[in-house]
Structure 1
Amino acid sequence: MTHKPTTPHSILFVVPRFHTNIFVATKALVKSGYKVSVFAVSSRAEEDHSIVQPVVFGERPSLRKLRRAMKQADPDLVFLRTSRPLSYLVAHMCSFGRRKLIHYNQRPLHFPRKWYEIWEWWLQGLSAERVTPRLGNDLSQPADRYATYLPWPVEAVEGITRVPRHDGPLRVICVGKLMQPRKSQDKLIEAMEDALQSGHATLTLVGSTGTATGAAQAHYNKLHDLAKRSNGAIRILENIPYSEMPQLYARHDLCVLPSRNEPLGTSPIEAMAYGTAPLVTTGCGSACYITHRKDGFVVEQRSVPALKAMMDELIASPELVAQAGRNAAETAKGELGPQTFVKRVETLLDR
């Protein structure tokens, strides 16, 4: 078990918003005795602030408010994600060794930066050190010497009981913004068309919405049109609070993210904690968390035939899905678990 620090370290996350992918990370650190603060540019209704209440600064941060918040947080370590102008101001307050700062981005570990990118940080009095939750697809490439692999953890909420499938249809869930065409929910529906029509599978689309025009609005309209014509095989759930997602994951067998060019894609990884098998494309950054056919499945991005072939196999092989789900839950407890994450952060603190 991870020890609680005698003198609690203070850790600050500076982010565009308190995304669900860092909720378990902040919770794990708090449970291990750390003081955790989050500075964000904006906030959304579906966020969970039950553990850490973010300080929201808006698009034009008040310097007085920021100085006061920094004094109160008094961080020993700052994880800084680009969220200008907030991130620029915090970086300036940490420059030239005043506070330990580590950049956070989703650029793969195996994707070295150009020399001038590193020098740009050094000239500002900032460390070139960064963390990333992505290994990258091409591990033959050299790793960034200043980068550390730090996957965000997942954890099952206590009291959530998995609902077994029995002999019914394969229950598929897809979580992603409903107005973002690159999430490719329409391609998943195309790949599942026969199974949905025959009753061998059901599909739940979960995602946030907002104001959109053009291609984004057209994508949203298309999904609703396909759902209406599915005779109930497809249902759409909009703007579901993060706190309600565990129940949804536990009621499904497979969590699919068919995205193209997805920087990370955490919903299938969150689902793993509940014994729900993940299926992602090679275009998802989170593909590096999955061992194909062991604790999940990975298919080529932009290929409906490849996705359909995988879906057809899984629909016909319930035990393959069930075993992958059991293995996924073990991966979530171990390599992707909260205690593993805290140990990795402690290593960063000790440098």
Structure 2
Amino acid sequence: MKILFVVPRFHTNLSAALSGLLAAGIDARVVSSRTELIEDHTVIEPVVVPKGKQSLTFLKALLKDISPDAVVLRNTGSLSWRIHLLARLEHIPVIGYQLRPVNKPRSIARLALETLWSGLPVWRFSPVMGLKRDGNRQDRYSRYLPLPVYQSTPGVARKTGPNGPLRILCVAKIAQPRKRHLLLLDALERLKDETDFRLTLIGADTQQVSGFSDQYLEKLTDRLLNGPLKSKITLLTNVPPNQMAEHYLNHHICVLPADREPLGISPLEAMAFGTVPLTSTGTGSSGTIEMAGDDMVFQAGNVDDLHARLAAFASDRQHLETLGQQVQEFAQKNLAPKRFAEDLLQFIMDFKNR
């Protein structure tokens, strides 16, 4: 079977998903409308079709050349609209991929807007479950398919334990304000007199990143270099994806304090290595993390809540170790690339047979 993914760009969070499909014997392809330096093309090299080349003639030839059995479509403007049209004309099944929570049903007006204006299919999957507090109503045309993450190699030991400083990791683009690094620093400044800890910040700082802010980067850099936590912080920029496993294994907690974050894959990646995630209600991954256990989601923008969660973890390191084992088991069962491949194929079959 051959599946074509059409996306704005080849985001890192798709790497494990495509790896799982390839391992299952599925010929997965990617077409994107742009590319960024931070992308990882070791699994698949996407075909980049920028705006100036998205003619129907060109895309028809491209679709014929790839000849997919199914198309997974994310909103990419004219590119997704035209590929959807061409695929339908060729009777190729097309399903959507969005980051809207599945427990937030779309209205008829929204469905019409997505279909007629954006050219998106009605049926879609989303890796965003939504939070329990938002209710358990489900979009009838949506299915929850969490994006998978690379799993820890069997037998590889973690580098942390119940003794020594609490090791905290934050993986988030350094110059993107919505990542809310400053909120984390505020919480840790309160924590510094209560427990010993170390913070590692990892993130891309390239100006090509969407939402790049010179002003935010300058403010964050000043806090890191001159603030009261400067002796406790290590900043690493542009770390290759294949080096992230070592960092997850070396930390007790992976914090993502972001708000208005469509997904946020780093806490999910951390879980696969036994690192406890701590994310805000403003991230798309919070619903999945909430399913994995309690006390790992804090109120977005609330420094008191973030500090309280960190302090609780610091005060009971044995519980933290137990929780790490729990989330790793959850990731092995629910976030494995093989599981994603099976679930996506089932969704495509169900869509065909609806």
The reply to whether TM is greater than 0.5 is yes
Residue 55, structure 1, aligned to residue 47, structure 2: yes
Distance 1:133 1:292 in 2: 13
Q: CA deviation at 1:118?
A: 2.7
Q: How do residues 98-247 of structure 1 correspond to structure 2 at under 5 angstroms?
A: 98-120=91-113, 127-137=121-131, 138-140=133-135, 142-156=137-151, 158=153, 161-196=157-192, 200-211=196-207, 216-229=213-226, 230-247=229-246
The separation in 1 between residues aligned to 2:40 and 2:337, in whole angstroms, is 17
Cα separation, 2, equivalents of 1:247 and 1:214: 28
Does structure 2 retain, via aligned residues, the 8 Å contact 1:61–1:85?
Answer: no
Q: Deviations over 1:283-314 (max 9, x none)?
A: 11111112478376111111101111111111
**Does residue 288 of structure 1 match 2:287?**
yes
Q: Provide Cα deviations, 1:143-187, integer angstroms capped at 9, x if missing partner.
A: 111111111011225386421235211111111111121211111
Shift, 1:194, TM fit: 4.0
Aligned equivalents of 2:143, 2:15: Cα separation in 1: 20
In structure 2, the CA distance between the partners of 1:293 and 1:344, relative to structure 1 (3 Å rule), is closer
Tell me, in whole angstroms, the C-alpha distance in 1 between the residues paired with 2:342 and 2:303. 40
The gaps in structure 1 that reach 5 residues or longer are: 1-8
Kindly indicate whether the alpha-carbon contact (under 8 Å) linking 2:262 and 2:283 is maintained by their aligned counterparts in 1. Answer: yes
Q: CA deviation at 1:218?
A: 2.3
- Contact 2:257 2:300 survives alignment (8 Å): yes
| Secondary structure of 1:108's aligned partner | coil
The residue that corresponds to 1:3 in the other structure is none
Query: Separation in 2 of the partners of 1:316 and 1:327?
Result: 19
Distance across 1 between alignment mates of 2:30 and 2:178: 29
Tell me which residue corresponds to 2:65.
72
TM-score, normalization: structure 2?
Answer: 0.89
Higher relative contact order (CA 8 A, sep 6+): 2
Paired with 1:21 and 1:59, the residues of 2 have a C-alpha distance of: 23
Counterpart of 1:205 in 2: which secondary structure?
A: strand
Name the structure with the higher helix share. Answer: 2
SS at structure 2 position matched to 1:310: helix
Instruction: Give secondary structure in 2 for the equivalent of 1:290.
Output: helix
Relative to structure 1, the CA distance from residue 293 to residue 266 in structure 2 (aligned partners, 3 Å threshold; closer, same or farther) is: closer
1:314-325 matched pairs, under 5 angstroms:
314-325=313-324
**Structure 2: stretches of 5+ with no match in the other structure:** none
Once structures 1 and 2 are overlaid, which stretch shifts more, 153-162 or 88-97? 153-162
Q: Report the Cα offset of residue 46 of structure 1.
A: 3.0
2:7 is aligned, of 1, 7, 15, to: 15
Contact 1:253–1:277, Cα closer than 8 Å, also in 2: yes
Change (3 A) 1:293 1:69: closer
Report the residue type matching 1:36 in the other structure. Answer: A
Contact residue 10 and residue 75 of structure 1 kept, 8 A: yes
Distance across 1 between alignment mates of 2:161 and 2:338: 30
In the alignment, what sits opposite 1:4? none
CA contact under 8 A between 1:296 and 1:324: conserved in structure 2? no
When the two structures are superposed, what TM-score results if normalisation uses the length of structure 1?
Answer: 0.89
SS at match of 1:38: strand
Could you tell me how far 1:95 is from its partner in structure 2?
Answer: 2.5
Structure 2 match to 1:5? none
Using the alignment, how far apart are the partners of 2:200 and 2:264 within structure 1?
17
Q: Quick check: 2:172–2:256 contact (8 Å CA) kept in 1?
A: yes
Deviations 1:242-273 (A, max 9, x none): 22211111111100011122221111001111
With over 3 angstroms needed to count, the CA separation of the structure-2 counterparts of 1:106 and 1:292, relative to structure 1, is closer
Shift in CA distance, 223/151, structure 1 to aligned 2, threshold 3 Å? same
**Take 2:273 and 2:165, find their aligned partners in 1: how far apart are those partners?**
19
Determine the C-alpha separation between the residues in 1 that align with 2:322 and 2:130. Answer: 26
Percent identical: 33
Contact 2:162–2:317 (CA under 8 A) maintained in structure 1: no
Partner of 1:297: 296
Matches of 2:73 and 2:189 in 1, distance apart? 43
Q: Deviations over 1:17-56 (max 9, x none)?
A: 1111111110001000100001112223332222211111
